[in-house]
C-alpha cells in the first residue's frame, strides 16, 4: 500500500515553484520552434502539393511512386567525385557562354562534385535513354526566364551524349529554342516568357528594361506556342522581385494612352499564377501530359547572411553553406504562399519542383565573374570583382543538373 502524502510533505502543491530546468526546457523548445518555422512552412507547401497529386489517378509517364515518406527535396549534399559531374563542360557545345565557367577561367572544380542525397532514400540514376524513349514523338518545353533556360540547357547536355552527331540539332526562332533528337522525333524546347504573361520584357535578347510592365489576362500571347507540348516545365519569380509595386497594364501595349495600375508583388504574381493554372486546365490533357513548376532559384548577394564579411557576395565563394536552416532574404515566403494558394485550387495536377532550399546552400555554384561579359569592364569593375559578379545564374555542369535529376524523379517516380 502506498503511504498517503501528509499535509506536512516537503512538496506543497499550493506553494510549489517550478524547478529551474523547466524554464530551460521551455526556452529550448521555443528557440527550436522559431528556427524551424520557416523550414516547416516551405516544406509544407511541397508536401501539400504532393499529397494532392497522390489523390489523383496514375500520372502520365509514371513508372511507380516514390517510396512512402520519402521527400526527395529534403536532404544534404554529399561529395561524389566518382559520379559527378554528369558530363564535362567541353563535351556539351550547347552551353551558353554565360554559363561556361571553366572556359572563362574559374580555377576550381569543386562545385561540380556534389550530389544531392535525400534523407532516408536515394534519387534514381538519371537515365538518358529512358528519357528519350519516353519523349519519342513528343515535345518537352521549358517556359520562363534565363534560369529555366539554364535548366533546359542542362537537360540537353544530359541527353545529347547518347545521340549521334548527325541525329541532333539546335535552332532558335525568336523566343523559341528547339533541340531535336531526330531519330526519336522528339524535341526539348525553351520558350522565353519571364512573366509568363505578356510584358515589355518579352524580347529574348533585348529585355533589360528599368520599368517593367506586365499585361493582365494575356497568357495566350505566349500560350499559343505551348499548345501540343506533352511535358511543360514552368518557372517565374526573379523578374517580379523589383522591390517595388508591379505595373499592370489593363489594356493593350498598342494603346496610345495606357491604363496602368500598380499592384503589390504578391497580387501581381497571383494574377500570373491564376492565368497559368487556367491555361493549363484549358489546354493540357491530364491523361496524356504533365506540368511542372520549378520554385524560386535563390541568389547570393549578401555575404553577411551566411556569416561572411560585409560588402561581399558569391564572388570567390568555393564552399557551400552548411547551416541546414539557412534561408536568404531574397526568397519571399509571401510569394510561396501565393503559389500554395493557387496551386491548391488547381484541378489539373501540377508537380512542384521544390529546388529552393537545396539550392540556397550553394553559394559556391554561381557563375560569378567566370562568364562572357557582353560589355567591356571598366577599370573600377576590374579592381572590384564583387561589383560585377553574377550571383543569379549557375555554372554548367553543376547545380541545375540536380534540378533535372529531381525532374526525372518526379516524372517517372512521382
The residue annotated as part of the active site, out of 50, 145, 330, 390, is: 390
- Across 39-48, average pLDDT: 55
Tell me the mean pLDDT in the region 218-236.
Answer: 98
pLDDT at 246: 96
Residue 244: predicted pLDDT = 84
Which position among 160, 300, 366, 393 bears the catalytic label?
393
Assign 69 a pLDDT band (cuts: 50, 70, 90): confident
* 122 catalytic per annotation: no
Q: Does residue 356 surpass a pLDDT of 50?
A: yes
pLDDT of residue 23: 55
Q: 17 falls in which pLDDT band (50, 70, 90)?
A: low
Cβ atoms of 155 and 102 within 8 Å: the answer is: no
Lowest mean pLDDT among 49-58, 185-194, 293-302: 49-58
**Active-site residue, from 146, 303, 346, 359:** 146
Per-residue cell: 121: 532514400
> Residue 293 pLDDT more than 80?
yes
Q: How confident is the model at residue 46, as a pLDDT?
A: 58
- Sign of CA pseudo-dihedral 348, 353, 354, 356: negative
The arithmetic mean of pLDDT across residues 76-104, rounded, is: 97
Question: Rounded to whole angstroms, how far apart are CA atoms 227 and 209?
Answer: 29
Report the chain's mean pLDDT, rounded to a whole number: 90
Residue 349, classed as helix, strand or coil, is coil
259 or 36, greater pLDDT: 259
Q: What is the pTM of this model?
A: 0.88
Residue with grid cell 549557375, as numbered in its chain: 394
Residue 212 has pLDDT above 90, yes or no: yes
Cell numbers found for residue 62 = 509514371
Comparing CA positions, the residue from 397, 388, 398, 396 lying closest to residue 368 is 388
User: CA–CA separation, 389 vs 370, rounded Å?
Assistant: 8
Q: Is 256 annotated as catalytic? A: no
Question: What pLDDT is attached to residue 4?
Answer: 42
According to the model, what pLDDT value does residue 157 have?
A: 98
pLDDT of residue 67: 75
Q: Give residue 243's pLDDT.
A: 84
Confidence of residue 174 (pLDDT cuts 50, 70, 90): very high
Q: What percent of the chain has pLDDT over 70?
A: 86
Sign of CA dihedral 301, 302, 306, 307: positive
Average pLDDT over residues 316-334: 95
Cell triple for residue 140? 518537352
* Residue 8 pLDDT level (bands cut at 50, 70, 90): very low
Cα(292)–Cα(229) distance, rounded to whole angstroms?
12
Confidence of residue 133 (pLDDT cuts 50, 70, 90): very high
Per residue in 383-404, pLDDT (tens digit) is: 999 999 999 999 999 999 999 9
Confidence of residue 53 (pLDDT cuts 50, 70, 90): low
Q: How confident is the model at residue 25 (pLDDT cuts 50, 70, 90)?
A: low
Query: For 110-123, what is each residue's pLDDT tens digit?
Result: 999 999 999 989 99
The span from the CA of 70 to the CA of 121, in Å, is 6
Verify whether residue 146 is a known catalytic residue: yes
Q: How confident is the model at residue 35 (pLDDT cuts 50, 70, 90)?
A: very low
Amino acid at each position: 500500500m502506498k503511504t498517503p502524502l501528509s499535509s506536512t510533505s516537503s512538496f506543497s502543491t499550493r506553494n510549489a515553484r517550478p524547478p529551474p530546468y523547466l524554464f530551460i526546457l521551455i526556452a529550448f523548445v521555443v528557440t527550436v520552434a522559431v528556427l524551424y518555422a520557416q523550414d516547416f512552412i516551405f516544406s509544407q507547401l511541397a508536401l501539400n502539393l504532393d499529397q494532392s497529386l497522390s489523390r489523383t489517378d496514375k500520372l502520365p509517364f509514371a513508372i511507380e511512386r516514390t517510396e512512402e515518406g520519402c521527400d526527395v527535396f529534403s536532404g544534404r549534399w554529399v561529395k561524389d567525385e566518382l559520379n559527378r559531374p554528369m558530363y564535362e563542360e567541353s563535351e556539351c557545345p550547347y552551353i551558353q557562354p554565360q554559363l561556361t565557367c571553366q572556359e572563362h577561367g574559374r580555377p576550381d572544380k569543386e562545385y561540380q562534385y556534389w550530389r544531392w542525397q535525400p534523407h532516408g532514400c536515394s534519387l534514381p540514376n538519371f537515365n538518358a535513354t529512358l528519357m528519350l524513349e519516353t519523349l519519342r514523338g513528343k515535345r518537352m518545353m521549358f517556359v520562363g526566364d534565363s534560369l529555366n533556360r539554364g535548366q533546359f540547357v542542362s537537360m540537353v547536355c544530359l541527353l545529347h551524349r547518347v545521340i549521334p552527331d548527325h541525329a541532333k540539332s539546335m535552332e532558335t526562332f525568336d523566343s523559341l529554342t528547339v533541340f531535336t533528337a531526330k531519330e526519336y522525333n522528339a524535341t526539348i524546347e525553351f520558350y522565353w516568357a519571364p512573366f509568363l504573361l505578356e510584358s515589355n520584357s518579352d524580347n529574348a535578347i533585348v529585355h533589360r528594361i528599368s520599368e517593367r510592365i506586365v499585361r493582365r489576362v494575356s497568357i495566350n500571347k505566349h500560350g499559343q506556342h505551348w499548345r501540343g507540348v506533352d511535358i511543360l516545365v514552368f518557372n517565374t519569380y526573379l523578374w517580379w522581385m523589383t522591390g517595388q509595386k508591379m505595373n499592370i497594364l489593363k489594356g493593350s501595349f498598342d494603346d496610345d494612352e495606357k491604363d496602368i495600375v500598380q499592384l503589390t508583388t504578391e497580387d501581381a504574381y497571383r494574377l500570373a499564377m491564376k492565368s497559368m493554372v487556367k491555361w493549363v486546365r484549358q489546354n493540357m490533357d491530364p491523361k496524356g501530359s504533365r506540368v511542372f513548376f520549378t520554385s524560386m532559384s535563390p541568389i547570393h548577394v549578401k555575404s553577411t547572411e551566411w556569416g561572411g564579411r560585409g560588402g561581399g557576395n558569391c564572388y570567390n565563394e568555393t564552399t557551400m553553406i552548411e547551416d541546414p536552416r539557412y534561408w536568404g532574404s531574397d526568397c519571399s515566403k509571401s510569394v510561396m504562399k501565393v503559389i500554395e494558394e493557387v496551386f491548391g485550387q488547381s484541378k489539373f495536377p501540377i508537380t512542384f519542383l521544390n529546388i529552393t532550399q537545396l539550392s540556397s546552400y550553394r553559394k559556391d555554384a554561381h557563375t560569378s565573374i567566370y562568364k562572357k561579359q557582353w560589355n567591356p569592364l571598366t577599370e573600377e569593375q576590374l579592381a572590384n570583382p564583387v561589383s560585377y559578379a553574377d550571383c543569379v545564374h549557375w555554372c554548367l555542369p553543376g547545380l541545375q543538373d540536380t534540378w533535372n535529376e529531381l525532374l526525372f524523379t518526379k516524372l517517372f517516380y512521382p
